[in-house]
Amino acid sequence: MAVTAIVLLWLLWKRAWRTAVFWLVAVAGASALNTIIKVTLHRARPDGLLYSGWSAYSFLSGHMLRRHYNAHMEPAQ
C-alpha cells in the first residue's frame, strides 16, 4: 500500500489527474478482483495458519497481485 500511496501522491503533485484516477481505479479493481477470486475458488491456506473470513483463502496472493499491478501500471509520461 505504501507504493500505491507514494505513486498516487506523486501523480497528484504532478497534476496528472487522469492518470491518478486511472491508478486508483486499477489498484481498487485489482483488490476487488483478488477478493472475488478468493471467495469463488475457496482454496484453503496450508494448515497451522491463523486466518479467518476471506483471509483464510490463499489464491491469489494479494502481495503478488499488487506487485504485478505496481510493476505494469507505471504512469504515462
Amino acid at 25: V
Supply the pLDDT for residue 3: 82
Query: Into how many domains does the chain fold?
Result: 1
Residue 45 falls within a domain, yes or no? Answer: yes
pLDDT digit string (tens) for 4-54?
889 899 999 999 999 999 989 988 888 888 778 777 877 766 665 666 665
10 is a domain residue: yes
Is 77 inside any structural domain? no
Point out which residues pair with 57 in neighbouring strands. 44
Q: Spell out the residues 6+ positions from residue 1 whose beta carbon is closer than 8 angstroms to its own.
A: 66
Domain around 45:
2-72
The answer to whether the CB of 37 falls within 8 A of the CB of 59 is yes
Nearest to 51 by CA among 38, 41, 68: 38
Q: Alpha-carbon distance 33 to 41, whole Å?
A: 12
pTM of structure: 0.60
